[in-house]
């Protein structure tokens, strides 16, 4: 195992010196001591992984095979019972739909805005550094704080609608309308994190060789054509990877929902994680919630494996 | 919890370049300058686009100085009339806000320090000490990148509950330090140490340094950029944590900031906006100030984290 204690001499022993001509080689050679030190150095992380990642992961699968009503203190094996229940549960279907809607909306808005901002900031223009700071700043703002401020702005009589009224427009009650609540949650989340993707795209854009664009221009390509055929083509791997990462991140959205809409109105913004939270900590159905968690893990696993596969391919292409 | 910042990403095209910075204009690339009308149009577009990024912060700060009667006043005013500090006083007295602030701060600092120590040790050993089984064990650790915190929240609650640590800060300190959130830190440290020239270590070995001394006295001082990146994203991750405190904590004295901010409600459960925004301002502004001062490190740290993971 990983907890092998070091022999006292491993730490107190004299530094390696050339003991040429010593009659017997000591057991604790430099190599052995090195290996022991290495193992000791990784052991906190390994124990942590075992206790807080692998153990819980195995446990959640095990729990998901049981009906576990915490309040009644019942823990009975039901096999695939929870999964059958999920398959027939309209609340779960709603949460899958809400998650899909959120993820797609987020990726489309986020990636297109991030790309647009990156292209604009890649121009030769005074003040781009300031704009970059402004667009990036929400990334470092506490998520819940950002969400609270937007919740305030999106109130029926809040800042957004007040300014719309000044302009003579009548804004909806954003967070209480079936059709606008999801839009509100998506926009708040896009504005929060688009700066990060923008910076990633900016780095990719700056890796596009100017000579290639120049060559295309020589061949008579217009600006749009140069952008589409050279720039966009060369940074497309980054776009794809950033998109997948954004989707994986979007599956974990929780605080925004909890603060802005509590999953409502109806179930229109009850995403998977919020549904999991409700089942586990409001209805105290740990077994059923675990089944939701396993489904969530399956989706994240597939997406992450795709991402890793793509990354390997692109890295290969780059070299 | 901002998972996007904590998920692995591809290496930047073009290799190990710094995140874009003000230095980009001097990188010697010949770039075409837009014609003047284009530049003006672009500038104006950027100004308009920056409104939804800047205005919320402005609105938060100004509202936090308004008396409650003015919070929803029409027409809306961009500058508080009858500015008062009363919302701030209320924010500090309605809840043990100073205590909650301290909770968030000390937990984030401990988690950051612990993560730096454990992840750099593990990252170093995985990268430089080729002990038998290192690669297999590294794959085991990497599993943590695949498991979102939300997936394991029920078993973790059960674990914490069994040890009688519900409503203590232990789970918020120990789990991030050693569990899934620290895996990305280990990965980044390992990537950094892999690229370290081995001549430096050989020199240390010649001088008779033990492996641990080489790590501590030679490798770590060189790892400052990687440590800075790890420190920034670890601190922010802990500072932002919401689901875990919600699940693990139950008394207001133990709350951390994100959870505390949602508690400024009147008897009917409606938010007391100006007080809530005063507390929010106190939470956000220090981080924003540090960000503006150490912008380069923040952008590089958070983007590198994405790029290198």
Dist CA B161 CA B167 (whole Å) = 9
Mean per-residue pLDDT of chain A: 86
B157–chain A nearest CA distance, Å? 10
Mean per-residue pLDDT of chain B: 84
Q: What pLDDT sits at residue B3?
A: 35
Residue identified by tokens 């220090």 is B286
What mean pLDDT do residues A3-30 have? 54
**Taking a C-beta distance cutoff of 8 angstroms, is the pair A144, B262 a contact?**
yes
What mean pLDDT do residues A274-292 have? 93
Dist CA A119 CA A267 (whole Å) = 38
What mean pLDDT do residues B277-290 have? 93
Interface touch B178/A17, C-beta < 8 Å? no
Dist CA B207 CA B263 (whole Å) = 59
Dist CA A122 CA A114 (whole Å) = 12
Classify residue A71: in a domain, yes or no. no
- Which one, of B221, B227, B238, B226, lies nearest residue B287 by Cα? B238
Classify residue B54: in a domain, yes or no. no
Strands (E), A119-257: none
Q: For the segment A73-93, what is each residue's pLDDT rounded down to a tens digit?
A: 888 898 888 999 999 999 999
Total domains present in chain A: 2
A-B CB pairs within 8 A amount to 374
- Extract the tokens encoding A271: 């995403």
Residue identified by tokens 């500015």 is B83
Q: Residue B160: which residues within 8 A CB-CB, separation 6 or more?
A: B166, B170, B171, B248
Mutate to test the interface with B, among A44, A48, A278, A309 (most CBs of B within 10 A): A48
Dist CA B182 CA B160 (whole Å) = 19
Q: Does B13 touch chain A (CB under 8 A)?
A: yes
Element (H, E) at A273: helix A272-277
Classify residue A66: in a domain, yes or no. no
Total domains present in chain B: 1
Q: For the segment A133-183, what is each residue's pLDDT rounded down to a tens digit?
A: 999 999 999 999 999 999 999 988 888 888 888 888 888 888 888 889 999
Chain A environment of B25 (Cβ under 8 Å)? 124
Classify residue B273: in a domain, yes or no. yes
B149–chain A nearest CA distance, Å? 9
Q: For position A208, which CATH number holds?
A: 1.10.3720.10
Taking the CA atoms of A65, A66, A67 and A69 in sequence, report the sign of the dihedral they define: negative
Q: What pLDDT sits at residue A30?
A: 75
B231–chain A nearest CA distance, Å? 13
What mean pLDDT do residues A267-282 have? 93
Q: What pLDDT sits at residue B304?
A: 65
Residue A128 bridge partners (DSSP): none
Q: What pLDDT sits at residue A20?
A: 52
Dist CA B32 CA B79 (whole Å) = 41
Say yes or no to pLDDT of B13 above 50: no
Interface touch B1/A56, C-beta < 8 Å? no
Residue identified by tokens 């990462």 is A245
Interface touch A276/B153, C-beta < 8 Å? yes
Answer with the residue of higher pLDDT: A53 or B5: A53
Chain A environment of B101 (Cβ under 8 Å)? none
Classify residue A303: in a domain, yes or no. yes
Classify residue B55: in a domain, yes or no. no
3-state secondary structure (DSSP) of residue A285 = strand
Classify residue A304: in a domain, yes or no. yes
Q: What pLDDT sits at residue A84?
A: 94
Highest mean pLDDT among A20-24, A35-39, B4-8, B22-26: A35-39
Classify residue B259: in a domain, yes or no. yes
State whether A130 and A36 are in the same domain. Answer: no
Q: How confident is the model at residue B22 (pLDDT cuts 50, 70, 90)?
A: very low
Classify residue B160: in a domain, yes or no. yes
CA of A248: which chain B residue's CA is closest? B4
State whether A30 and A105 are in the same domain. Answer: no
Q: What pLDDT sits at residue B20?
A: 42
Classify residue B184: in a domain, yes or no. yes
Interface touch B151/A136, C-beta < 8 Å? no
Taking the CA atoms of A169, A174, A178 and A182 in sequence, report the sign of the dihedral they define: positive
What mean pLDDT do residues A219-232 have? 87
Q: For the segment B48-73, what is each residue's pLDDT rounded down to a tens digit?
A: 999 999 999 999 999 999 888 888 87
Q: How confident is the model at residue B219 (pLDDT cuts 50, 70, 90)?
A: very high
B124 is in which domain, residue-wise? 98-309
pTM: 0.86
The share of chain B scoring above pLDDT 70, in percent, equals 88
Q: Residue B177: which residues within 8 A CB-CB, separation 6 or more?
A: A48, B110, B111, B114, B115, B118
A42 is in which domain, residue-wise? 1-10+22-59
Q: For position B208, which CATH number holds?
A: 1.10.3720.10
Interface touch A193/B4, C-beta < 8 Å? yes
A98–chain B nearest CA distance, Å? 17
């Amino acid at each position: 195992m990983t907890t092998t204690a070091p022999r006292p001499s491993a730490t107190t022993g004299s530094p390696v010196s050339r003991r040429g001509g010593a009659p017997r080689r000591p057991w604790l050679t430099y190599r052995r001591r090195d290996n022991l030190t290495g193992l000791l150095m990784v052991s906190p992380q390994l124990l942590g992984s075992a206790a807080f990642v692998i153990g819980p992961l195995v446990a959640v699968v095990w729990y998901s095979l049981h009906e576990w009503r915490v309040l009644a203190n019942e823990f009975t094996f039901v096999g695939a019972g929870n999964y059958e229940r999920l398959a027939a549960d309209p609340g779960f279907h709603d949460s899958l739909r809400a998650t899909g809607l959120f993820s797609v909306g987020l990726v489309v808005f986020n990636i297109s805005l991030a790309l647009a901002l990156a292209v604009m900031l890649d121009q030769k223009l005074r003040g781009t550094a300031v704009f970059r700071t402004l667009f990036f700043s929400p990334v470092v703002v506490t998520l819940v704080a950002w969400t609270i401020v937007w919740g305030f702005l999106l109130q029926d009589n809040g800042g957004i609608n007040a300014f719309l009224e000044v302009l003579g427009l009548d804004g909806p009650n954003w967070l209480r309308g079936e059709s606008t609540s999801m839009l509100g949650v998506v926009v708040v989340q896009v504005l929060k994190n688009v700066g990060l993707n923008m910076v990633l795209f900016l780095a990719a854009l700056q890796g596009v060789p100017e000579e290639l664009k120049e060559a295309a221009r020589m061949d008579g390509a217009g600006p749009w054509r140069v952008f589409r055929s050279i720039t966009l083509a060369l940074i497309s791997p980054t776009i794809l990877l950033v998109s997948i990462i954004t989707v994986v991140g979007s599956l974990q959205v929780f605080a925004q929902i909890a603060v802005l809409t509590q999953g409502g109105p109806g179930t229109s913004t009850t995403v998977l994680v919020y549904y999991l939270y409700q089942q586990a900590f409001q209805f105290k159905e740990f077994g059923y919630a675990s089944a939701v968690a396993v489904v969530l893990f399956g989706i994240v696993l597939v997406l992450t494996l795709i991402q890793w596969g793509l990354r390997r391919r692109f890295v290969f292409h780059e070299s | 919890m901002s998972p996007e910042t904590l998920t692995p990403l591809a290496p930047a095209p073009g290799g190990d370049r710094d995140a874009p910075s003000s230095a980009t204009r001097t990188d010697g690339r010949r770039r075409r300058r837009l014609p003047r009308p284009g530049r003006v149009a672009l500038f104006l577009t950027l100004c308009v686009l920056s409104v939804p990024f800047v205005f919320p912060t402005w609105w938060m700060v100004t509202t936090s100085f308004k008396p409650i009667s003015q919070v929803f006043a029409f027409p809306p005013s961009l500058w508080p009339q009858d500015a008062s500090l009363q919302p701030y006083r209320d924010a500090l007295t309605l809840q043990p806000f100073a205590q909650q602030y301290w909770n968030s701060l000390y937990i984030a600092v401990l988690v950051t320090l612990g993560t730096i120590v454990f992840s750099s040790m593990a990252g170093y050993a995985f990268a430089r000490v080729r002990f038998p089984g290192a690669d297999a064990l590294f794959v085991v650790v990497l599993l943590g990148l695949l498991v979102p915190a939300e997936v394991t929240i029920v078993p973790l609650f059960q674990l914490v509950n069994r040890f009688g640590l519900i409503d203590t800060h232990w789970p918020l300190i120990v789990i991030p330090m050693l569990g899934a959130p620290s895996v990305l830190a280990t990965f980044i440290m390992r990537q950094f140490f892999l690229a370290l020239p081995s001549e430096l270590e050989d020199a240390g070995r010649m001088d008779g340094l033990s492996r641990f001394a080489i790590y501590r006295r030679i490798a770590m001082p060189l790892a400052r950029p990687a440590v800075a990146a790890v420190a920034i994203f670890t601190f922010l991750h802990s500072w932002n944590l919401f689901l875990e405190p919600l699940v693990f904590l139950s008394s207001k004295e133990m709350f951390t900031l994100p959870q505390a901010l949602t508690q400024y409600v009147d008897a009917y459960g409606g938010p007391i906006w100006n007080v809530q925004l005063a507390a929010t301002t106190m939470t956000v502004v220090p981080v924003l100030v540090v960000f503006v001062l150490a912008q380069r490190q923040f952008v590089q740290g958070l983007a590198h984290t994405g790029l290198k993971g």
